[in-house]
Amino acid sequence: MNVRTKSHWGIAVSAFVIGGAAVVFRLLTGHRHADYGSYVPWGLWVGVYVYLVWLEVGTLVVFAGLVHVFGMKRLETARKHVLLFGGIVLLGALAQIGLDLGHLPRFWRTFVTPNFSAPMTWMIWLHTIYLVILGTELRFALRAESEPTAERRAHQLSVLTIPFGAVLVSVVGAVFGVESSRPLWSGMALPLFFLLSSLVIGSAMVTLVYALAAPDRGSAAHTETMRLLGRIVLGLVLFGAFAVVVNVATILSSGATASAESVRTLLGGRHSWSLWLVHVLFGLALPVWLLTRRVPSRRALATAAGLVVLGFMAVPVNLIVAPLVQPEFAALPAAYSGPGLSFGYFPTAVEWLVSMWVLAAVTLGLLVGSRWLRRRGAAVVQP
């Protein structure tokens, strides 16, 4: 184990232990030490959950799409790592949203007494189906070298991840899109925006995994594939940015509507620094600069992809909080005071630490998983 790998393990284990204390605290004290509440019911945890869903689904859909639709068979070498990544991130997303529930032990009710008019029900059912598909596909993929039928079944399941993934991420968007009382979310655009965001972040993650995990790293063919992936990431990033600018400009032109107010909060509110600094600067501008260099190196491509993946972290939280901090009635904030009855929101230390624990658990899962795959003869992932 080299120094860099040791430092990865050290950081992940430290974050896991410190965050774990916050998780225990959350389980013992409930939601008393969170800043979300009655008027801003969803906050950082829901944002991190959405981010992880974008990441997980996007990676799997883009990977399967490139391999099966666009015939990029070279990517197949990283398949086990992509599947492992998707499965672990999915579990992380479920852990994060589970900790956000008021009554986590009752989650089974969504299977026993489901309300199918609620997109959240579909979201949970699709998550479950997706987890089963992923687990089964990984199982077949691990046996593919010795069993031809396993290879075929893994291939079939991989194709299934495309429609199921697209529906899953769109349904997660619909959870917000059906909220007609929140004009910024409401409508058909949000599920599509979720899908687009997922594809952008997924293409970047596939590039990163391929850069780190492909067995032919350093070869000319690998570099060529990386450059092609870089162009795909660049195209999706620019198209996504264009779509957002058009949408935002249209909403702002509508005048003093609730949507416009939410967008103004998004762009200039209390949390906007994270959007401009983390997303726009590090997640958009810097990667675009790296990807548009005449002959980007493999390192530059991987860095750009990593920045896109990390930069998108700031998007869901801002998107979720912006419409919630707008009072339904201007006089409501002053009508009655108490904890949770505020339209201001900033995550508490417990919220940050719990999310840190989730991300640390995902990182540790990937580190352990990559070692496990290495022992099985696969290439090593160095996250």
Partner 1 sequence: MAEIAPTATPPAPAQAPEGPPRSDPLVRMQAELKRALAKPVEQRRWVMVIDLRKCVGCSACTVGCVAENKLPPGVVYRPVMQEEVGTYPRTTRRFLPRPCMQCDDPPCVSVCPVGATKKAKSGVVTIAYNECIGCRACLTACPYSARTFDSGRSYLDGTPETAPGAIGARAAGSYERAPAFEYGQAWRRAGGKSPIGNARKCHFCEHRLAAGVLPACTTTCIGRATYFGDANDADSLVAKLVGSPNVMRLKEEAGTNTRVFYLL
Question: How is residue 325 written in tokens?
Answer: 């901090």
Q: How far is the CB of 255 from partner 1 (least distance, A)?
A: 17
Regarding 256 and contact with partner 1 (CB under 8 A), the answer is no
Reduce the secondary structure of 288-357 to three states and give it as a string: HHHHCCCCCCHHHHHHHHHHHHHHCCHHHHHHHHHHHCCCCCCCHHHHCCCCCCCCCCCCCHHHHHHHHH
Regarding 252 and contact with partner 1 (CB under 8 A), the answer is no
Size of interface with partner 1, in residues (CB under 8 A):
48
Q: For the CA atoms of 203, 205, 206, 211, what is the dihedral angle to 10 degrees? A: 130
Contact assessment for residue 44 and residue 355, using Cβ atoms and an 8 Å cutoff: yes
Regarding 34 and contact with partner 1 (CB under 8 A), the answer is yes
Q: How far is the CB of 101 from partner 1 (least distance, A)?
A: 5
Q: Looking at beta carbons only, is 76 or 351 nearer to partner 1? A: 351
In which residue are the tokens 């092609």 written?
228
Q: How far is the CB of 33 from partner 1 (least distance, A)?
A: 9
Contact assessment for residue 205 and residue 85, using Cβ atoms and an 8 Å cutoff: yes
Regarding 345 and contact with partner 1 (CB under 8 A), the answer is no
Regarding 179 and contact with partner 1 (CB under 8 A), the answer is yes
Q: Looking at beta carbons only, is 121 or 382 nearer to partner 1? A: 121
Q: How far is the CB of 341 from partner 1 (least distance, A)?
A: 6
Regarding 124 and contact with partner 1 (CB under 8 A), the answer is yes
Q: How many angstroms separate the CA atoms of 129 and 10, rounded?
A: 34
Regarding 334 and contact with partner 1 (CB under 8 A), the answer is yes
Regarding 164 and contact with partner 1 (CB under 8 A), the answer is no
Q: Looking at beta carbons only, is 11 or 27 nearer to partner 1? A: 27
Regarding 63 and contact with partner 1 (CB under 8 A), the answer is no
Q: Tell me the CB-side half-sphere exposure of residue 282, using CA atoms within 13 A.
A: 16
Contact assessment for residue 143 and residue 184, using Cβ atoms and an 8 Å cutoff: no
Q: How far is the CB of 244 from partner 1 (least distance, A)?
A: 22
Q: How many angstroms separate the CA atoms of 231 and 360, rounded?
A: 30
Smallest CA-to-CA distance from 233 within 286, 187, 276, 191 is with 286
Reduce the secondary structure of 58-101 to three states and give it as a string: HHHHHHHHHHHHCCCHHHHHHHHHHHHHHHHHHHHHHHHHHHHC
Regarding 32 and contact with partner 1 (CB under 8 A), the answer is yes
Regarding 41 and contact with partner 1 (CB under 8 A), the answer is yes
Q: Which stretch binds partner 1 (CB under 8 A): 107-115, 145-153, 239-247, 288-296?
A: 107-115
Q: Looking at beta carbons only, is 175 or 366 nearer to partner 1? A: 175
Q: How far is the CB of 161 from partner 1 (least distance, A)?
A: 24
Regarding 383 and contact with partner 1 (CB under 8 A), the answer is no
Burial of 178 (0-12, 13-18, 19+ CB in 10 A): middle
Regarding 106 and contact with partner 1 (CB under 8 A), the answer is yes
The residues of the shown chain that bind partner 1, judged by CB under 8 A, are: 29-32, 34, 37-39, 41-42, 100-104, 106-107, 109-110, 113-115, 117-121, 124, 175, 178-182, 324, 327-332, 334-336, 338-341
